[in-house]
Chains A and B, each alone.
Chain A
Amino acid sequence: MMISRIAVFAAGVAAGAYGTVKARRAAYRLSVPGLVDQASALGLGWRELRGEIADGMATHEQTQYLKITRKQQQ
């Protein structure tokens, strides 16, 4: 009986702590500083994506270049 009460109490504390942390994070995400941070992270992601696309294009161009050169030499 006592043990089950303690278990229920511990579960309640854990759920409360978890819910509080999640709620605080969600509130921060929806606040103005949170939105600014998300926009900044999005900008960083966009820059990285553009860099990756440029890398892929350069690699493919180089491959095509070598392929055409090899075909002409044959």
Chain B
Amino acid sequence: MPVDVTILVVTVLVAVVAVVAAVVAVRALREVRRVDAERTERSAQVVAVEPEPVLPEQIGPAHESHPVQVVEGRVVATLTQQDLLEARLSRPLARVSVYVHGIAHALRPESRDRITALMRREYKRRRALRLKVARRALRSVPHETLARPDDWMGTVDDTDHGYPRAVGQ
């Protein structure tokens, strides 16, 4: 078999394989698109069937004895008035509002002045206490320990009074 005929046969085979592969790819793409469309349609149906919101008027005292009921295989919790109120007050905006009101309450002039005066009084009390303790400690030391000798002028004081000495002395 001559070389040119062999190359021609191989080329034909490759072309056939390429055509088959293209057909398979196009079919797979169509299948994927169809599945996606079905999924989108199904999710749209789920969103469309949204349950009705439970209004506080629909919840009466008849349900309060059974807070959790099973209706058609689904667990339905009956909300009490208290639950609804707590849910309403625990919304982020409501919480922020509560925080802001608390801070505004704390920063009123009367609260501010009270806290400032309290801090100032605490500081003065602690300072007075510290000075008092220091004075008492000073008084507890014998007078002779702190008294300087009278003959300091012209003499060298080499007596050891038992003072605490600094490093290097």
Contacts and interface: CB of A to CB of B under 8 A. Distances in A.
Contacts of B104: 56
Contacts of B77: none
A60 B114 CA distance: 21
A37 B123 contact: yes
Interface in A23-46: 28, 33-34, 37-38, 40-42, 44-45
B102 A56 contact: yes
B17 interface: no
B123 A41 contact: yes
Interface of A: 28, 33-34, 37-38, 40-42, 44-45, 48-49, 52-57, 59-61, 64-65, 68-69, 72
B130 A37 contact: yes
Interface in B49-97: 56, 81, 85, 88-89, 94, 97
A52 B115 contact: yes
**Majority SS at the chain B contact face:** helix
Contacts, number: 74
A73 to B, nearest CB: 10
17 contacts: A40-B123, A41-B126, A44-B122, A45-B116, A48-B118, A53-B99, A53-B103, A53-B105, A54-B102, A55-B106, A56-B102, A56-B105, A57-B98, A57-B101, A60-B97, A61-B89, A65-B89
Sorted nearest first, the 4 A-B pairs with minimum C-beta distance are A56-B105, A57-B102, A52-B106, A56-B102
A53 B102 CA distance: 4
Given A53-B99, A56-B103, 17 more contacts: A34-B127, A37-B123, A42-B119, A44-B122, A48-B118, A49-B115, A52-B106, A53-B103, A56-B101, A56-B106, A57-B102, A57-B105, A59-B101, A59-B105, A60-B101, A61-B89, A68-B85
A24 to B, nearest CB: 10
